[in-house]
Chain A
Amino acid sequence: MERQTAIAVAGLRRAYGEHEVLAGIDLTVPRGTVYALLGPNGAGKTTVVHILSTLLRPDAGDVRVLGHDVVAEAGAVRAAIGVTGQVSAVDGLLTGTENMRLMAALHHLDRTEGAERCADLLARLDLTEAADRPATTYSGGMRRRLDLAMTLVGDPQVIFLDEPTTGLDPRSRRALWAIIRELVARGVTILLTTQYLEEADQLADRIGVLDGGRIVAEGTADELKRRVPGGHVRIRVATADDLARAGAVFPTATADPDTLALDVPGGGDVTALRAVLDRADAAGLAIADLTLHTPDLDDVFLALTGQEVPA
């Protein structure tokens, strides 16, 4: 159990003065998996990352990374982790290569070994061309990639990514996702925070929805989706008359006269679809068009946090 668990948090509390940011968090992340903390701004995601990465002390609770207590054994925790925070942690006055070599020197890597690993990582993160330019000249996506490359110099076993793709364009975001997947395939454990539901859906093995300092729901993306209603079959008909008839066939459905569409609740899966088709056939109802709607994480987010989904 101990060996398989990368991150173990129990009863974590943290307050800033009177304001309680974390009101008792429990979470467990097995090795080699991705855990996404999903939550609106101010939910406490960054505070969790800061505590796990030894930047902040918890007020209460047991917080362990690879079995090491983050307060009593901060040094051992730091030796095993890598952190890429929201604010890009690169030295803007140094070039990409110099930033990387700085990390290699601080990890006490042998000079040639360090140089090789730096060059290799810069190539992997597509920064070779920009390697000799000061980091201030980098675009947002390049800075983030350099940031991650610097995190990887120490070959960390556990990586914390605090909103790794916030502010990146879709292409850079996908490139970063690919890198994260590659890391996980090598056995690295990743805890990431995000406010993008798609990101959690794409990357995470498990998702914890953080709201108001508590984890209000936890599970795989599918498990979370199943917890909220919202699955339906949307049928479209040709005329307003048909819509009225369809309304009689499916009394629980909500009709939209503008688009001549009808949302039939009862799930968005194949069984629900078959039932809808059977009833339409029996009533002799002509269906022009039909779509399945499964709840996505947007619905989950909305239902669990009671907030508008961030655009």
Chain B
Amino acid sequence: MTVLTTPDRPDRPAVLADTRTMLGRGVRRLLRYPSLTIMLVGIPVVFLLLFVYVLGGTLGAGLVPGGGRSDYLAYVVPGFLLLTVASSGQGTAIGVAMDMTEGIIARFRTMAIHQPSVLSGHAFGAVIQNFAALLVVLGVALALGYRPDAGPLGWLGAVGLLLLVVLAVTWLSMALGLGAKSVETASNAPMVLMLLPFWAPGSCPPSPCPRCCGGSPSTSPSPRSWRPCGRCSPGACPARPTRAWRSAGASW
């Protein structure tokens, strides 16, 4: 029998291999516990339907003169994508807390593995879960008639920004999950993240804003949506394309 001699600082291949192994474990756990994922994706979808169909007509009318449900949909989708990230963060906290209450963490800690891989596996798994959830919510929004006219760069920017938000929320959720004494606490702790998009102008404009996009609502329906309007010069309304994002981001 040969002795496994692992140095205190494992070499790079071990870091990659262990992280990949832990990611595989995380994904497998997600697949084995689908009800959690379904619930986490369900929350933003239900809220989206609720806001767009129950309140959307009225709120849309306040956005632009003669506006309606479709205007509100265009306004609210970015906020609800953030809500999706917050909801998935709850899942991450639950997952980490479940792990910590099980004995397997003690086993990992007594093994000669790259120790941070236990958490980075969770983090990468969470990114995958988040983007899967974001795709579902975006899909629902598209089905409801959401038609963003962003170009490739705009989308790239949106994905990049979402990735950063996802990572930030994921690590925060993991910290909350680690700090929680039970799975129940862990599931409640990130709840406040889900409320933040409602405080920020994620679902409803905070105050009347100068409307800088001229023209009819049908061609430029939402002054504060995340997509560039295309008909205004950037100088006319510098904060416009990302106003909802920025406000939401700032309050996070």
Docked-complex contact B113 and A106, CB < 8 angstroms: yes
Docked-complex contact B25 and A102, CB < 8 angstroms: yes
Mark each residue of chain A from 86 to 114: 1 if its CB lies under 8 Å from any CB of chain B, else 0: 01111111100010001001111000000
Docked-complex contact A79 and B110, CB < 8 angstroms: no
Docked-complex contact B4 and A154, CB < 8 angstroms: yes
Residues on A with beta carbons closer than 8 Å to the beta carbon of B109: 54-55
Docked-complex contact A91 and B102, CB < 8 angstroms: yes
Docked-complex contact B107 and A89, CB < 8 angstroms: yes
Known: A94-B25, A94-B29, A134-B32. A78 touches B103 (CB 8 A): no
Q: Please tell me if B14 contacts chain A, counting CB pairs below 8 Å.
A: yes
Docked-complex contact B4 and A75, CB < 8 angstroms: no
- Which B204-234 residues sit within 8 Å CB-CB of chain A? none
Q: Smallest CB–CB gap between B115 and chain A, Å?
A: 9
- Which B1-53 residues sit within 8 Å CB-CB of chain A? 1, 3-10, 14, 17-18, 21, 24-25, 28-29, 32-33
Residues on B with beta carbons closer than 8 Å to the beta carbon of A108: 14, 17
Docked-complex contact B29 and A83, CB < 8 angstroms: no
Q: Smallest CB–CB gap between B121 and chain A, Å?
A: 11
Highest count of chain A CB atoms <10 Å: which of B5, B107, B109 = B107
Docked-complex contact A91 and B29, CB < 8 angstroms: yes
Q: How far is the CA of A223 from the CA of B29 in the complex (A)?
A: 50
Residues on A with beta carbons closer than 8 Å to the beta carbon of B103: 85, 87-90, 147
Q: Smallest CB–CB gap between A156 and chain B, Å?
A: 9
Number of contacts between A and B (CB, 8 Å)?
87
User: Interface range on chain A: under 10, 10 to 19, 20 to 34, or 35 or more?
Assistant: 20 to 34
Residues on B with beta carbons closer than 8 Å to the beta carbon of A106: 18, 21, 108, 111, 113
Residues on B with beta carbons closer than 8 Å to the beta carbon of A107: 4, 111
Q: Please tell me if B112 contacts chain A, counting CB pairs below 8 Å.
A: yes
Q: Please tell me if B192 contacts chain A, counting CB pairs below 8 Å.
A: no
Selected contact of A81 from candidates B1, B14, B108, B110, CB within 8 Å: B110
Selected contact of B21 from candidates A81, A105, A134, A154, CB within 8 Å: A105
Mark each residue of chain B from 87 to 111: 1 if its CB lies under 8 Å from any CB of chain A, else 0: 0000000000000001110111111
Selected contact of A157 from candidates B3, B104, B107, B111, CB within 8 Å: B3
Docked-complex contact B107 and A83, CB < 8 angstroms: yes
Closest residue on chain B to residue A90 by CB atoms? B104
Q: Smallest CB–CB gap between A102 and chain B, Å?
A: 6
Q: Smallest CB–CB gap between A172 and chain B, Å?
A: 18
Q: Smallest CB–CB gap between A59 and chain B, Å?
A: 19
Q: Please tell me if A74 contacts chain B, counting CB pairs below 8 Å.
A: yes
- Which A133-159 residues sit within 8 Å CB-CB of chain B? 134, 147, 150-151, 154-155, 157
Q: How far is the CA of A53 from the CA of B111 in the complex (A)?
A: 9
Closest residue on chain B to residue A98 by CB atoms? B28
Q: How far is the CA of A90 from the CA of B104 in the complex (A)?
A: 5
Q: Please tell me if A80 contacts chain B, counting CB pairs below 8 Å.
A: yes
Interface pairs (23), CB distance under 8 Å = A54-B109, A54-B110, A55-B110, A74-B8, A75-B8, A76-B8, A78-B6, A85-B106, A88-B103, A89-B102, A89-B103, A89-B106, A91-B25, A91-B29, A91-B102, A94-B29, A94-B32, A106-B111, A106-B113, A107-B111, A150-B107, A151-B107, A157-B1
Given A54-B109, A79-B4, A80-B3, 8 additional A-B pairs, CB 8 A: A55-B110, A76-B7, A78-B6, A79-B6, A87-B103, A89-B103, A155-B1, A157-B1
